[in-house]
Amino acid sequence: MSTKSPLFPTRRAATALLSAALLVPLAACSGGGSADGAADGKSGAPSSAAPKSVSLTVLAASSLTDVFKTAGAAYEKSHPGTSITFSFAGSQELAAQVRQGAPADALVTADTRTMDGLKAETGTPAVIAKNRLVIATGKGNPHKVGALKDLADTKLKVVLAAPEVPVGRYSKQILDAQKVEVKPVSQEPNVRAVLSKVELGEADAGLVYRTDAAKAGDKVAAVEIPDAQNAVASYPAAALKASKNADAAAAFVAWLSGPEAQRILQDAGFQQP
């Protein structure tokens, strides 16, 4: 009786072992998985793609400088992959930039009049906030300014925004309504420039938005103007038709009317739209 040594397999067994050995590397190269588990079972593509990176440029009125820095950081945190760059200036300067084709994605002005003049360049605007004016004076109000009529004192150095600037137009509106004649020592290109003149002592008083005076803290004193003598500033926001990131721009504009952005705006002293 012959016997076969267990150390040497039969021809059939050897063939089976060889086939199995050849299949091992093939299985490792198949689409069934990868070393890091990142591929799916069909195409080897990542199972979850990273969010698309988008950079938005937003043109915004000067009076939004501080609050939009906070809002922008909040938006970027809740929208991974999106970064926002703000360009702040007087609304009339922003409008000129849009007409000249400056690369931007969205616009927020401090008045509806400026926005309405850009209908051909923007989507449908939505008012996201409102504001009112106050009289800003030097720290401690050394000249005891108490009302709009006090700004007519020729001994007082008063600075206003230029009439083509929204805050300058609002200022003229309320002064004319009260028949108060003011001869400003200068007319500035935006509200921040007016506030700076008062802060630096280059002017005794100026008309600014309530939110700007509040942000200045004790560097200036803010004299309230009664609602019946005041003007309401509206801030419309709109995506720009020339934006290369139309969907992302529209999403940001819509977010400005949502609860998170509204809380940030109102915490900064802006009124509900």
Q: pLDDT digits over 80-128, tens only?
A: 999 999 999 999 999 999 999 999 999 999 999 999 999 999 999 999 9
Q: How far apart are CA 78 and CA 158, in angstroms?
A: 43
**Domains of the chain by residue range:** 54-130+233-267, 131-232
Indicate whether 255 pLDDT > 80.
Answer: yes
Contact assessment for residue 150 and residue 204, using Cβ atoms and an 8 Å cutoff = no
Indicate whether 21 pLDDT > 90.
Answer: no
Indicate whether 193 pLDDT > 60.
Answer: yes
- Tell which wins on pLDDT, 231 or 52: 231
Indicate whether 203 pLDDT > 80.
Answer: yes
CATH 3.40.190.10 at 54-130+233-267, yes or no: yes
Say what the pLDDT of residue 11 is: 39
Structure tokens at 163: 């009439």
- Domain 131-232 classification at class level: alpha beta
Mean pLDDT calculated for residue range 186-205: 97
Indicate whether 45 pLDDT > 50.
Answer: no
Indicate whether 29 pLDDT > 60.
Answer: no
Mean pLDDT calculated for residue range 201-221: 96
Q: Are the folds of 54-130+233-267 and 131-232 the same?
A: yes
Mean pLDDT calculated for residue range 202-212: 97
Indicate whether 242 pLDDT > 70.
Answer: yes
Mean pLDDT of the chain: 86
Say what the pLDDT of residue 49 is: 55
Predicted TM-score (pTM) above 0.85: no
Indicate whether 42 pLDDT > 90.
Answer: no
- Tell which wins on pLDDT, 39 or 108: 108
Give the confidence band of 9 by pLDDT, cuts at 50, 70, 90: very low
Structure tokens at 73: 């950081």
Say what the pLDDT of residue 82 is: 97
Mean pLDDT calculated for residue range 172-192: 97
